[in-house]
Structure 1
Amino acid sequence: MTADMIITLVVLAAAAILFMSGKVRSDLVAICSLVLLVLLDILSPNEALSGFSNSIVIMMIGLFIVGGGIFQTGLAKMASGKMLKLAGDSEFRLLITVMLATSFIGAFVSNTGTVAVMLPIVVSLATSANISPGRLLMPLAFASSLGGTLTLIGTPPNLVISETLSKAGFEELSFFSFTPIGLVCLVIGTGLILLLSKLLPKEHGEGKGNRRGRSLNELARQYQLSQNLYRVQVSDDSLITTKTLLELDIPNQYQVHIIEIRRKTSHKNPFFKTINQEIAGPLTVINKQDILYVYGVFEAVQAFAEFYQLALLDHQVVEQSIIQNTERFASDQIGIAEVLLPPNSSLINQQVKQSGFREKYSVNILGIQRKGEYLLHQLKDEKIRFGDALLIQGTWKSIALLSKEESDIVVVGQPLETAAAIPLNHKAPIAAGIMLFMVVLMILEVFPAVISVMIAAILMVATGCLRGMEAAYKTINWESIVLIGGMIPMSIAIEKTGAAALLSEKLVSSLGNIGPFALLAGVYFTTSILTLFISNTACAVLFAPIALTAAVQLGVSPVPYLFAVAIAAGMCFAVPFSTPPNALVMSAGKYTFMDYVKVGLPLQLLLGVAMVALLPLFFPF
């Protein structure tokens, strides 16, 4: 062994120990290992930085953005709702449903792309089912690898061994050559994951709450918003059109407040929404066919609608769920918030109609909480007292500006963060189309996979599925990106110093004398070990010719050995940085390095034993 080889293996071992200890962040360990290899002159600076320009790292960035778009548009919640109906609330059935769906997609799409599509759906599913995402996400990543064994295009190692066999004069593999052994691998792997998943973390991660604030759902429920909300539509001959709300003076005449207007816009482009939501202000002009959201007691709303010849769309907006209730008052444009008054506020002892909330801040007061009671009607003459909490509604921008007026008003919570968390439900069909478009491009291989992903990521931002580039950057888990980018050069060092080639050749040559089964086991488990540290494609490229030569020299068919290489290279579960899918789910599942070792290592070993035993039955020596 050369000095460079020994140093590389020592650095790798030290990194593995730090990963397992969990005392140092994994991305910091990866970067320190990288810098150390440069300082010791094992890697050149260009080689050390090559990981961050690697197509896998760029693709992971794009996939995080695509996943963010799927989540932000509510598409993930819709899809998870369908899966929840299918599987029920049983964690066992949910796990099977997630794994089978992921494996099916993984048979035709790269495992990285499969996990990117499924990850936001599964996180939403776990939240809806009130279980920890960590119970489902690692099985999701592993199932994507199992699915890769079902078809020729499932993973790159499958294509590598097909090309190796073809060049050596053997029959080329067909699209479904992998399917029989792949199905067996899928069944055994799924069964093992179901057993080992009991070792996964059970804690349900706590969401980030607003600063001292209550959620939108809690506010809507406590102020009984749904009990006083009605919708009316303006007819073509209505007396209310062409006049401003200030001129109409509806609150004084009917004790009814128009709080929101929804009207059709002139946008023809299908990528943009066609219904515009506007907060009602003094200078707002009512147009024909507008839908008005009005707030007041039913008798007053009915009298108002009859006088102005408005169509009462529903006698009362009876909400089917808390979420729908919130959507009536809050969207990505308009929101609700609670405000408090400091002791020195100039608004204390002023009547609501004189407070200037609507004129000065462009917000409506929907209710007042006073000593545990809620005042919801005829608020205009009510005096604001110290200790009152006011429920307001307006655009998120207006609420955010209001939060800066700390001398008179204190806004509870963080309006901009709350607004950013509201899904863009009207964009869900667009996000679904982009996701499908990306999958089709990847299946047909119209462009390299990384380009297909970047096109999808750009479309997510360009069509408004994400709120601009800042929102896109926030979807990226940079710890995972740095971890993978820092560990890819480690595989270069292992190959460059000859450590990989030495290990593989020594092991295979020594086992070849024992017999075909021993050689098969040697090929499989050597590949399985090396794929922990170098990419599955590189591992297959390295081992395929070695396995082919060893089998020919032994006088047996090379087919089972090459299948062993392909399957072992793809079945990498014991460490988080070995494959992009493992890294993609690490943060969302709140996994530690040892979680992968506890669940992934026995899975990798047991599946290996099963494959070594079964491969000769499908592909005889």
Structure 2
Amino acid sequence: MSQPQIVCLLILGLTLLLLVTEWLRADVVALGAVVALVATGVLVPEQALKGFGSEPVIAVIGAFVLSAAVVNTGLAERLGQWVTRIAGTRLVWGLLVLMLAAALLSALTHHLLITALMVPIAGTVAARGNFPASRLLMPVSLSASIGTTLTLIGAPAFLVADHVLQEAGREGFGIFSLTPIGMALVACSLFYMLLPGRWLLPDRVGSDSSTVRFALDDYYTEILIVEGGPQVGLGLAALSERYKGRFEVIDWLRGGDPIRHGRDERKIQAGDVLLVRSTPEGLADIADEKGLALHAVAKYGEATDAEAEEQFGEERLAQLVIAPRSYLSGRAVGEVDFRQRYGVIVVGLWRREGWVGGELSGIRLQPGDTLVVWGEPQRLDSLGLQREFLMALPFRARRLRRSRAWWALGILGSSVVLAATELLPVHVAFLAGALGVVVARCLSAEEAYAALELRVIAFIAGALALGAALEQTGLTTLAATHFAPLLQEFSPFWILVLVFSAGAILTQILSDAATVVLLAPIAARMAEPLGLAPEALVASLAIGAVAAFLTPLGHHGNLLVYVPGGYRFGDFFRVGAPLTVLFGLITAFVALWLWPAA
């Protein structure tokens, strides 16, 4: 083994160790690998940095901007309302509608966005039908993941797989090349969840199974009564009646102490703090209501609402979901200087399980909690890059550009048509679509840039550099030469099943894109000695990396429903393992039909 190969293996081993242990963020690890490859001479700078201008990265950029336009114009909200009406109140029908909608929507937009959209819808359907949301949330997450197999742009892993094939001298995939496999997997998942899988789903509810516990419609926050406001002098009953439908008073503090006795006789005073539960619209309106202020802004910002607004500029609200193993988990809100650390102020909290009471600063955060934070747009947009948060979402009460919804839909459809007819390459078609939604004012240029998940882009670019190093040093050929003879005793069908399994297992500790970057070049090299089409091997590997449903760690969508569904780690394996086996068999069968063995 040559010196460059040894150095490349050492860098690969350290990269995998850091990715598995999560000592550093994945994008930081990938960029570190780029620097190490150049510093050790394994790659020249042009080779190492080529990934940043590669087709997968450009296509992902376009897809992120188009997804943001779908949300920003209210199109996603309209689709959600339509799905809610169609789903009705019956479990089987609701399961069918939600799964089918999640799969179809994920084919063209980010599956995590669709999962987040479907969580409150599933909660509403479950509450109306009087059955636990755990019956719906896992199937929704599953369908959103499987829906990505319907198009080439559904998941970054497929774009990487296409890039690997082109680097190997093949034509690559078209936007609908994987669609027959995806359709078979969607049909299988629907059949499985409606019949045998439905009995494997857990039947759990929290201490409160009301709609608001699942629908993210009930936030806990604190309101400060401002000097000179019209609320001063009112009784609590009169104030509650005045703001009925906008918020519900849970507790009343004066000087930091709760008022427990004589509430009916006491009058509201300036400086009193009300602990309330509020709808998204009500919470967003509080800061604009004369005499009321979000207490956290005054308390942690050490400024009045007006002074804080002057400092922050055009402030807005956003939602942050606390990630598993987050630094924030177990810490009280007041222990974390959110203003100093993240440039925002916590103004509200949503939690599925358990009653949230007491002052906001004393509440200890848990994975899955949703924080409502207030700050300037630039700081809010960057929070999605922090490893402490599973995802950052716009606050649903924000103003949407609803009049541009049809423009967004038309531009998204046009991008798909241009790519499908090969009038433009996929990455160019979606980059054109991203430009189109900005020109059509579906979102501003600033919002388009903010929609880019830079950590995903950086990770893909860095991972591609690592894949190039494996190819450049000959390690890919060496691995293919070693593994191909071991597989020759198997039939083509079982070879594809084994390749699918390799992707399914490795993606539980790495991302789907990283799995494809590492293994797809080896799979492509093994094709000729095994008498198989490279497309069949690479497609089986990529779908295994994307469609494996074995643990909640395999896909972020699983983590998003983990807490709201009251799930346990083993629930995902019990439900997903039989389905993943079926997926492997179906993928191998359809892949051989699409790309027959030589």
> In which range does the TM-score fall when normalised by the shorter chain?
0.5 to 0.7
- Answer yes or no: is 1:571 the counterpart of 2:544: yes
How far the C-alpha of 1:80 sits from its partner, in A, is 1.4
> Taking structure 1 as reference, are residues 21 and 602 closer, same or farther at Cα in structure 2, changes over 3 Å only?
farther
Separation (CA, whole Å) in 1 of partners of 2:308 and 2:221: 5
Overall identity of the aligned pairs, in % = 22
Aligned to 2:117: 124
For the residue of structure 2 that corresponds to 1:24, the secondary structure is coil
Separation (CA, whole Å) in 2 of partners of 1:175 and 1:71: 23
How far the C-alpha of 1:79 sits from its partner, in A, is 0.4
Aligned to 2:472: 496
CA contact (8 A) 1:138 1:589 kept: no
Aligned to 1:371: 235
Aligned to 2:384: none
How far the C-alpha of 1:614 sits from its partner, in A, is 8.2
- Answer yes or no: is 1:115 the counterpart of 2:88: no
For the residue of structure 1 that corresponds to 2:452, the secondary structure is coil
Aligned to 2:83: 83
For the residue of structure 2 that corresponds to 1:465, the secondary structure is coil
Separation (CA, whole Å) in 1 of partners of 2:499 and 2:588: 10
Equivalent of residue 226 in structure 2, options 317, 331, 341: 341
Aligned to 1:432: 409
Separation (CA, whole Å) in 2 of partners of 1:485 and 1:63: 16
Aligned to 2:315: 416
How far the C-alpha of 1:453 sits from its partner, in A, is 1.9
Equivalent AA in structure 2 for residue 129 of structure 1: A
Aligned to 1:265: none
CA contact (8 A) 1:149 1:185 kept: no
Equivalent AA in structure 2 for residue 115 of structure 1: T
Equivalent AA in structure 2 for residue 53 of structure 1: G
Aligned to 2:47: 47
> Taking structure 1 as reference, are residues 550 and 101 closer, same or farther at Cα in structure 2, changes over 3 Å only?
same
TM-score of the aligned structures, taking structure 2 as reference length: 0.54
How far the C-alpha of 1:539 sits from its partner, in A, is 6.7
Separation (CA, whole Å) in 2 of partners of 1:36 and 1:160: 22
Aligned to 1:445: 422
Instruction: Report how many residues are paired.
Output: 438
1:258-273, aligned counterparts within 5 Å? Answer: none
Separation (CA, whole Å) in 1 of partners of 2:163 and 2:456: 27
1:125-156 deviation digits (Å, cap 9, x = unpaired): 32233369984446413332266699xxx989
How far the C-alpha of 1:494 sits from its partner, in A, is 1.9
For the residue of structure 2 that corresponds to 1:370, the secondary structure is coil
1:461-509 deviation digits (Å, cap 9, x = unpaired): 333322x333333333222222222222111122222222222232223
> Taking structure 1 as reference, are residues 175 and 340 closer, same or farther at Cα in structure 2, changes over 3 Å only?
closer
Equivalent of residue 144 in structure 1, options 142, 148, 154: 148
CA contact (8 A) 2:51 2:461 kept: yes
- Answer yes or no: is 1:480 the counterpart of 2:344: no
TM-score of the aligned structures, taking structure 1 as reference length: 0.53
1:573-621 deviation digits (Å, cap 9, x = unpaired): 3899xxxxx9896997799xx99x9798986666335655787899699
Equivalent AA in structure 2 for residue 453 of structure 1: F
CA contact (8 A) 2:411 2:437 kept: yes
- Answer yes or no: is 1:507 the counterpart of 2:483: yes
> Taking structure 1 as reference, are residues 90 and 165 closer, same or farther at Cα in structure 2, changes over 3 Å only?
farther
Aligned to 1:608: 584
1:201-245 deviation digits (Å, cap 9, x = unpaired): 9997979979745xxxxxxxxxxxxxxxxxxxxxxxxxxxxxxxx
Separation (CA, whole Å) in 2 of partners of 1:432 and 1:477: 22
Separation (CA, whole Å) in 2 of partners of 1:407 and 1:105: 44
Separation (CA, whole Å) in 1 of partners of 2:217 and 2:462: 30
CA contact (8 A) 2:55 2:163 kept: no
Separation (CA, whole Å) in 2 of partners of 1:54 and 1:586: 29
CA contact (8 A) 1:212 1:412 kept: no
1:426-464 deviation digits (Å, cap 9, x = unpaired): 332332223223222232232222222223223333333
> Taking structure 1 as reference, are residues 430 and 187 closer, same or farther at Cα in structure 2, changes over 3 Å only?
closer
> Taking structure 1 as reference, are residues 431 and 368 closer, same or farther at Cα in structure 2, changes over 3 Å only?
farther
1:50-69, aligned counterparts within 5 Å? Answer: 50-69=50-69
Separation (CA, whole Å) in 2 of partners of 1:33 and 1:156: 18
1:228-307, aligned counterparts within 5 Å? Answer: none
- Answer yes or no: is 1:3 the counterpart of 2:3: yes
Moved more, 23-32 or 605-614: 605-614
How far the C-alpha of 1:158 sits from its partner, in A, is 9.0
> Taking structure 1 as reference, are residues 539 and 548 closer, same or farther at Cα in structure 2, changes over 3 Å only?
same
How far the C-alpha of 1:32 sits from its partner, in A, is 2.4
Equivalent AA in structure 1 for residue 315 of structure 2: L
Separation (CA, whole Å) in 2 of partners of 1:40 and 1:165: 28
Superposition RMSD in Å: 5.9
Separation (CA, whole Å) in 2 of partners of 1:479 and 1:76: 24
- Answer yes or no: is 1:25 the counterpart of 2:21: no
CA contact (8 A) 2:174 2:420 kept: no
> Taking structure 1 as reference, are residues 212 and 504 closer, same or farther at Cα in structure 2, changes over 3 Å only?
same
- Answer yes or no: is 1:547 the counterpart of 2:527: yes
Separation (CA, whole Å) in 2 of partners of 1:12 and 1:198: 38
> Taking structure 1 as reference, are residues 480 and 124 closer, same or farther at Cα in structure 2, changes over 3 Å only?
same
For the residue of structure 1 that corresponds to 2:109, the secondary structure is helix
Separation (CA, whole Å) in 2 of partners of 1:82 and 1:550: 49
Equivalent AA in structure 2 for residue 460 of structure 1: V
Separation (CA, whole Å) in 2 of partners of 1:370 and 1:398: 16
CA contact (8 A) 2:500 2:544 kept: no
Equivalent AA in structure 2 for residue 447 of structure 1: L
CA contact (8 A) 1:511 1:518 kept: no
Separation (CA, whole Å) in 1 of partners of 2:517 and 2:421: 20
For the residue of structure 1 that corresponds to 2:442, the secondary structure is coil
Separation (CA, whole Å) in 2 of partners of 1:69 and 1:424: 9
> Taking structure 1 as reference, are residues 142 and 17 closer, same or farther at Cα in structure 2, changes over 3 Å only?
farther
1:401-433 deviation digits (Å, cap 9, x = unpaired): x99999997469978315982333333233222
How far the C-alpha of 1:122 sits from its partner, in A, is 4.1
1:88-117 deviation digits (Å, cap 9, x = unpaired): 4678766654554565678xxxx5xx233x
1:153-232, aligned counterparts within 5 Å? Answer: 184-188=184-188, 212-213=222-223
1:350-369, aligned counterparts within 5 Å? Answer: none
For the residue of structure 1 that corresponds to 2:546, the secondary structure is coil
